[in-house]
Amino acid sequence: MATAREDLYNILDLLGLSARLKNKGDTRSTQERLAAHRYSQTAWVCGYCYWLDAIFSVDP
């Protein structure tokens, strides 16, 4: 069974975002790293909420 993080990356793959999140090179400046970290956290939270909504939503 896939973990929540794997499910999130599958969702982000569809959006074309996971490559940016997975690529964590050390050649970036501190400001770029912080911006990427904020972006990663935001994307993870949005994806996780979407995943939870998909699990707990019930169609009549």
- Taking only the tens place, the pLDDT of each residue in 17-58 is 555 555 555 566 777 777 877 888 888 888 888 888 888 887
Domain layout of the chain by residue ranges? 3-57
Angle between helical axes of 30-56 and 4-15 (0-180°, round to 10) = 110
Q: pTM of the predicted model, to two decimals? A: 0.40
Asked if residues 8 and 51 have their Cβ atoms less than 8 Å apart, the reply is yes
